[in-house]
Amino acid sequence: MAEKDKYWDCLDHAVEAAHLGRTEDALSWYDQALKANPGGAEAHNGRGEILWEDGRVEEALYEVELATQADPKFVTAHLNRAELLIEELGEPEQAIQYCDFLLSGGDPLPRLDRGTEAEVHYLKSKGFFYLDDLEGALFLARRAIKTAGDVPVYRAFEGQLCFELGRFEEARRQLEHAVAIDPESAHALYHLGLALERLGEDPSAAFHQANALQGDQYPLPVEVDDKTFHAIVAEALADLQKSFREILEPLPVLVEDYPDRELLSERDISPQILGLYEGVPLTEAALTEQPQGMNRVLIFKKNLEKVCRTHAELVEQIQITVRHEIGHHLGLDEDDLERLGLA
């Protein structure tokens, strides 16, 4: 068999093994492919995707970079590299720069068709999202939609961004549209539930559908009654060291379902925030004339219920959130919070 034919035959076997979940067999076939063609971009990229799925992120990035070097026009490897930088390596700035590089279209880069160009805009949008530039992310998500049309993933992300910006009615419209295009989009269904909840409508059907489709990522809320929730918060306060309790005695710790629209607009925070300290930290109190009676801690019940999978986990997360926000009142940074057991 000619080396070229052997290369493509090994690739076919690798793809089949990967599809059947035989990771080691797939990697072995990719290795055989690279022996037949050491510069095979497809084999390097395939190895990268297997390693990525296996959680070996640095190795995956190395392989997809080899793929882009072997064939600078192999667009799939470029897209994988950008997504790895955003989703796995926490390098959104670098990913955005790489997306701009791809969009520049200079030789020897691939010429992007409309679908690929839209995917680059979408990846760049995610980079802006992780940098907390929600307006920039929304602009780019809409540019992806304008470029490629109604791709469900792009439309769902647009709805998610509208929700994070506190535009709940608009979020609902976009997410309902995304679900209409793809009824099995757990991401769109879950965020539709979030939007419906904030609009005073019943979100349970959307949450249950998202959970049925992707339970690991979208657990059902661990709901407890108000009395039980307040009791857990009170216990978290009672468990603090006596010296802290004496300092905190005048500080109100209030429970609300979630931040209201006024708070969202005033503080530029996520609707899904778990807790919030408002006021002047004790370390800065002497430098301001703001009355100390304006200090308070807010704990958001429904948001906390949605990030937990069990009652025990809910109790633990409430305790963590209470301690964390109290730490901000004390003027502590993240290292201080960890050292004092308040993180």
**Any idea what DSSP says for residue 267?**
H
Query: In whole numbers, what is the pLDDT of the chain averaged over residues?
Result: 92
> Which of 127-141, 166-180, 275-289 has the weakest average pLDDT?
275-289
- Looking at residue 289, its pLDDT comes to 53
Digit-coded pLDDT (tens) for 73-129:
999 999 999 999 999 999 999 999 999 999 998 888 888 999 999 999 999 999 999
Residue 251: pLDDT band with limits 50, 70, 90: confident
Q: Is 80 strand, coil or helix?
A: helix
Is residue 127 within 8 Å of residue 92, measured between CB atoms?
Answer: yes
- Looking at residue 243, its pLDDT comes to 67
How far apart CA 79 and CA 110 sit, in angstroms, is 11
Residue 336 has pLDDT above 90, yes or no: no
Nearest to 123 by CA among 164, 160, 153: 153
Q: CB within 8 A of 268, min separation 6: which ones?
A: none
Residue 331: pLDDT band with limits 50, 70, 90: confident
**Architecture in CATH for domain 3-213:** Alpha Horseshoe (1.25)
Residue 6 has pLDDT above 60, yes or no: yes
- Looking at residue 141, its pLDDT comes to 98
Residue 286: pLDDT band with limits 50, 70, 90: low
Digit-coded pLDDT (tens) for 135-166:
999 999 999 999 999 999 999 999 999 999 99
- Looking at residue 247, its pLDDT comes to 73
Nearest to 326 by CA among 308, 311, 341: 341
Q: Which structure tokens are listed for 235? A: 């216990």
How far apart CA 208 and CA 190 sit, in angstroms, is 8
Q: Is 255 strand, coil or helix?
A: strand
> Which of 249-258, 264-273, 287-296, 330-339 has the weakest average pLDDT?
287-296
How far apart CA 286 and CA 29 sit, in angstroms, is 68
Fold entry, domain 226-339: Zincin-like (3.30.2010)
Mean pLDDT (whole number) for 171-186: 98
Domain spans of the chain, in order of start:
3-213, 226-339
Percentage of the chain modeled with pLDDT above 70: 94
